[in-house]
Structure 1
C-alpha cells in the first residue's frame, strides 16, 4: 500500500473511531482504547506527511542545474574538472575534460592573484567572460560548453553560465546555474561569504557591463523569471554591485540632473539610490513621472532605466546600450535618416504623439 493510501486509511479509521465514541456505542474502557488508537494514527499521519514533504523536496532539488535549455543546449556537470584543479590531479578525466581543465587553468593563471578576495576573483572571472566572449551561434558543443566557449570565444546563455560556474568553482567559489521556468534561458548564482548573488554574463556581454552582475532577487526579477523553490534566495547586499556603487539622491528632481551629468561620461552604467517611503503617493508619482520623461526622451535604443526596492530605498540603474556593430544583424541606426521629415507626415495624418503623462508606462519599482 503506498503512502497516499495509508493516509486515506488512517483518516478513515479516525473518522470511524470518532463516530463510535460520539454515539456511545462502546463503554468508557473501550473508548479509551479507541482514543489511544486515534492518537497513534494521528502520529502516523504526521510521519507520513513529513515523509511526503521530504520526498517532494528531494524531487524538487534533484539536479536542477544540469537541465536541457531551449530543447537544444544541455547544461553539463563540470564538478570533476573543478575538483581536479583544486586537487592538482587530472586522473579520471577524459581528453575533452583535460583540455577544458588546461584552458581554464591558463585563464585563471592570467587573471587571478593569490591575495584576492572571493569577490575580486568573481569579478575578474566575470570581466574576462564578458570582454572576451560575444554572443554567437554554432553546435551545442561549440557554444554551450566551457571547452567550446574558451576555444571558439562565442556562446549562448548556457555557454556563459557553465563557463562562469566552472571558473568560479575552480577558485573555490560555490556557484550554481539557474534557469527560467520555461527552460529557455540560464544564468548563475554565486555564494560570497554567507549570501547568494545572481549574475547573468549573457545579458552583459553585449549590454551594459555590470548591469546584471551580483544582483539581488528583487533586482534580477525585473528581467528574469524562475521557480524560487529550486534555488537559494539571493538576498545579499554586501557585494550587490548596484547597492555598493549607488550614489544617494535626496530629491526626485536631482535624479534627472544626476542622469544628465552621468550620461555625458564614458561609463556605460551608474547607480542611484533614493528613499521613497511606503504610501508616499505624491513623491512616488513625481519620481515615476520624472523617470518616464527621461526614458521617453532618451529612447530605449540608447539607454534603459530600471529599478528595484531594498528597504526604504529605491535603486535606479541607468545602463547605456552598446551600439550595433558594423554588419550586425538586426535594426541598425541609419544616421542619414531624416526622422523629422517623417514625424511631420505622421503628425499630419495621425496627430502628434501624446505627452508622456501616463506614469504607468515606467515599469519600475518605485512605490
Structure 2
C-alpha cells in the first residue's frame, strides 16, 4: 500500500519499532503543522491509506471526496469526532480506530504534564528561566502546594492520577463531576465539593479532565470562572471546547481566575502565535504535549500499524464504520 503519515510533528513515527513493520509498503511521512485543508489533500493524494495521530487531522466530506484513491484510515486512539465517518462510509473508506493499550500510559503522561504546568505556573518557571538567561536574578515569589485546595473536575484515569499526586503534595483535594466520577473519588477517600458553586469558589487550583463531546461542550461557563479566586489557577489539559467559547480569555482579563495553564485549543495546530491566550501575561500555554511522550507513541503507533497490516491482509480490525467493509 501507499501510505501517508500526516502531522507527525516531532518526526517520531520513523523512530518507533512499529515503523519497521511497514517495510513492505510505501510510506511517506509529513511533519508540518498546518491548518489548510488543501495541504491535507496535497499530501494524501494518490495514497491508499492514511495514518493519523490522535485528532490532529480533521477529515471533512470536502476533503474525503477529493481523495479518490483512499481506501483506509488507521486512527490512533478511539476518538473519531474529527472524521466525517458518513462520508468515509459512502466512499467505501474503512476507518480503524483502536485503543491506546499499554496499561493506561497515555493517561498518566497527561497527568504528568498537568503537574508540570501547575508547578511551572505557581513558581513562575518560564519567566524566571528566561530572565536568568538575560542576566537577571530572581524577581518573583512563588506559591507552595502544601495546604492549598486542589479541585479536580472529573475523576477518571487522568483526573484520578492528578488527585493522588495532589494528596501526596499535602494538598486538600476536592472533586466534582457526574455521579460516577464522584462515586469513584469517594471510594478512594477524596472529598466531594458541597456544590458546583463551592467547587469553583474554594479551589486554589482547578484541573479539568473532561472528554470533549456534545454533552461537555461549554460545560465550564463564564459564571463558573467568575466564581474563582483572583489568586486561583485554572488548568486545562483535556480539550478546549469544554470551556464556553471566549470565556477563559474574558475571565483572565477580568482577573478571575488570576492565572491559567492550558495545553489545548479550539482549533489545532496553533501556528503564527495567533491565539489570544498567547498574548496574555497570566496564561501559560503549551502546544498539546499531554500525550507526546516516547512510550506513549510506541503504544499508539503499534496499534495503528496492526490496523494497517490487518487491512492489507483483508481482515480489518477495530473498525469504526463496519458498513464500509467490503
Report if TM-score (shorter chain) is over 0.5: no
Higher relative contact order (CA closer than 8 Å, sequence separation 6+): 2
Between Structure 1 and Structure 2, which shows a larger proportion of helix residues? 1
Q: Which bracket does the TM-score occupy, shorter chain normalised?
A: under 0.3
TM-score (norm 2): 0.26
Q: Which has the larger radius of gyration?
A: 1
Q: TM-score, normalised by structure 1?
A: 0.24
